[in-house]
Amino acid sequence: MTDAVNTDRWIRWLNLVQLVLAGVIIMTPTVWMVLSSFKPSFEVTAYPPTLIFTPTLDNYVELTKTTPFLSYALNSLIVTVGSTALGLLFGIPAAFVVSWTRISWPAILTLAARMAPGTLFLLPWYVMFRQVGMIGSYTALILSHAVITLPIVIWVLLPSFDAIPRSVFEAAQVDGCGVTRILWRIALPLVASGIAVSAILAFVFSWNYFLFALVLSNGDTKTLIAAAFNFIGEGSTQWGALMAAATLIALPPLVLAALVQRWLVSGLTLGAVKG
């Protein structure tokens, strides 16, 4: 009895230690980034790093003065929302059909596309988009980012659709529903939390994606993350402004994740256990 209690206590301690370790590893760069964004320029790269300093908003002021930060943010928003919407538009029916027909190769194909390095697509896309005069357009960026959002939507939603008992769909068929109506009236309401989770993940991944925007955007359509790259110069890097930009870029995904974290966890484990 006492042994069991002791073992239990040990396990709880070990869990706590693990969590603290993981938290430190994950949070250190983020905390460092946020703190640095409030440091005076000369202190950002000081060695050893200063932990006590007078916070300043200079980096943020410089960022907004020297760059059209808000328009970049708007570009990011347009591309991210557009590609997320596109991912949902095609990903939801795709996931449903894969679950319905149990023909999985299309889903595997999208996963392979997601796994492949972005550079693999970049050159052909650049050539294609240039030929049709779309380089620097939102459309090109949204279409390219759909490669990121579509697989996420499909693979997050697949277990959600799979978790719906087959007989529910069959009952709907017998009741008079065709496949489209089954998707719309029966399946979609049942995977609502899965859709929310997939939308958030697609948003975050698209928002953070750097490579396509770097090559396919122009000065007017540059996304935040590609614009932030401009602060890294060959001779000197504006670390303070870069940290301020990085902090602002990281803010929407972090806020989004924090707001829906409980939903996110339950959504990701949907279908793991049939209710």
Partner 1 sequence: MASISIRNLTKRYGNFTVIPDLNLEIADHEFVVFVGPSGCGKSTLLRIIAGLEPISSGDLYIGDTRVNGVQAAQRDIAMVFQDYALYPHMRVYDNMSFALELRGTPKAEIDARVKRAAALLHIEPYLDRKPKELSGGQRQRVAMGRAIVRNPKAFLFDEPLSNLDAKLRGQVRAEIKALSQELKTTMVFVTHDQIEAMTMADRIVVLQSGTIQQYDTPEAVYERPANQFVAGFIGSPAMNFFPVEWRQERAILSQGGTVVPLGEETANGLRHAGRAVLGIRPEHFAVATDAADGITVNVKLVEPLGSDTLIHFDLAGAASIARVDPSLRPKVGDRINLRPQPGKTHLFDAANGQVVR
Residues in contact with partner 1 by CB under 8 A are 165, 167-168, 170-178, 181, 185-186, 189-190
Judge whether 49 and 108 are in contact, CB under 8 Å: no
> Quick one: CA torsion of 133, 137, 143, 148, rounded to 10 degrees?
130
Task: Rank residues 189 and 233 by Cβ distance to partner 1 and give the closer one.
Answer: 189
Question: Is the CB of residue 157 less than 8 Å from the CB of residue 188?
Answer: no
Residue 160 beta carbon to partner 1: minimum distance, rounded to whole angstroms: 13
The amino acid present at 191, given as its one-letter code, is V
Q: Which residues pair with 232 in a beta bridge?
A: 237
Q: Which is nearer to partner 1, 180 or 261 (CB)?
A: 180
Q: How far is CA 99 from CA 6, 106, 258, in A?
A: 46, 11, 30
Nearer to partner 1, 65 or 274 (CB): 274
Token look-up 């719906």 returns 164
Distance of closest approach, residue 169 Cβ to partner 1, in angstroms: 8
Give the residue with the Cβ less far from partner 1, 173 or 230.
173
Largest separation between any pair of C-alpha atoms in the chain: 75
**Which residue number, 52 or 174, has a Cβ lying nearer to partner 1?**
174
CB of 272 to partner 1, least distance (A): 17
* CB 177, min distance to partner 1, A: 6
Shortest reach from residue 153's CB to partner 1, in Å? 21
Amino acid identity, position 221:
T
- Which CB sits closer to partner 1, 29 or 165? 165
CA distance 150 to 34: 31
Q: How crowded is residue 96: how many other Cβ atoms within 10 Å of its Cβ? A: 25
Give the nearest distance from C-beta 202 to partner 1 in angstroms.
Answer: 23
Dihedral sign computed on CA atoms, order 99, 104, 106, 107: positive
